[in-house]
């Protein structure tokens, strides 16, 4: 299959999505956006649903690639974690900002996109868990929980006003707190007062 031609089909599918949404887009719309016949489009996608699935897969794969690049950087742990979260946030802002319809591609409950969204989130979660483990989170449950918290923060910010400005501040505060848990352990003083002390 000609990858460049498939890319053109998906570009045209996205243009139709921006204007019409998934339900109202037809194969004729996609063909018209490309300036080709409908039969020409069928050489690259089976039907409209297939075109939208492939489009969602492409956009999520691109975001995942950015997240993997951020995780692999020779940089402090907090910077790499922040980069992974930014990759997800940037995808959300692009899709939410382009049109009221494009956010459909992130709908994990939608029949067409559920698997793509679920796989993307699972991959991001694994990246974050690994990064927290590398940063010294020796308890696997704690590393998993840290990844959960980070993803919840980004998802919560995706539709917040001015989220692009808020994300760096919010992630810096959150990541700093989560990473500090790796070096500060609260223990019970066996002395008579039973006070809680933190090692120096």
> What is the pairing mode between strands 187-188 and 196-197?
antiparallel
Question: Cα(132)–Cα(81) distance, rounded to whole angstroms?
Answer: 8
Model confidence at 174, pLDDT cuts 50, 70, 90, reads: very high
In a domain, 135, yes or no: yes
Q: Which residues pair with 188 in a beta bridge?
A: 196
The answer to whether 83 and 71 are in contact (CB under 8 A) is yes
E strand residue ranges, the chain? 187-188, 196-197
Task: Output the CA–CA distances (angstroms, integers) from residue 36 to 41, 42, 88, in the order listed.
Answer: 7, 11, 34
Query: What CATH number is given to the structural domain containing 61?
Result: 1.10.357.10
pTM (2 d.p.): 0.87
Q: Residue 133: give the domain boundaries.
A: 55-180
The pLDDT tens digits for 69-118 are 999 999 999 999 999 999 999 999 999 999 999 999 998 889 999 999 99
Q: Quick check: is 31 in a domain?
A: no
Encoding tokens for residue 142? 């704690």
pLDDT digits (tens, 9 = 90+) for 134-143: 999 989 999 9
Q: Is residue 143 part of a domain?
A: yes
Does residue 170 sit within a domain? yes
User: If you write DSSP's letter for every residue of 59-93 in order, what string do you get?
Assistant: HHHHHHHHHHHHHHSSS-HHHHHHHHHHHHHHHHH
Q: How many domains does the chain have?
A: 1
In this structure, is residue 137 part of a structural domain? yes
- Does residue 79 lie within any of the structural domains? yes
21 Rama class: left (phi>0) / alpha (psi -120 to 50) / beta: left
**pLDDT at residue number 180:** 86
pLDDT, residue 1, reads: 59
pLDDT over threshold 80, residue 3:
yes
């Amino acid at each position: 299959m000609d990858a460049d031609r498939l890319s053109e089909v998906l570009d045209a599918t996205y243009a139709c999505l921006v204007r019409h949404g998934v339900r109202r887009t037809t194969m004729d719309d996609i063909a018209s956006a490309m300036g080709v016949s409908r039969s020409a489009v069928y050489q690259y996608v089976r039907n409209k649903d297939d075109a939208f699935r492939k489009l969602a897969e492409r956009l999520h794969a691109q975001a995942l690639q950015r997240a993997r690049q951020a995780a692999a950087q020779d940089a402090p742990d907090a910077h790499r974690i922040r980069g992974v979260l930014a990759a997800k946030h940037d995808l959300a802002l692009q899709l939410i900002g382009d049109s009221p319809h494009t956010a459909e591609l992130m709908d994990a409950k939608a029949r067409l996109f559920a698997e793509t969204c679920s796989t993307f989130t699972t991959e991001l979660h694994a990246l974050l868990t690994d990064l927290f483990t590398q940063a010294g989170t020796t308890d696997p449950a704690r590393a998993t929980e840290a990844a959960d918290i980070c993803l919840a923060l980004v998802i919560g910010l995706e539709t917040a006003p001015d989220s692009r400005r808020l994300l760096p501040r919010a992630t810096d505060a959150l990541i700093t707190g989560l990473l500090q848990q790796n070096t500060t352990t609260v223990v019970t003083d066996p002395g008579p007062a039973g006070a809680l002390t933190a090692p120096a």
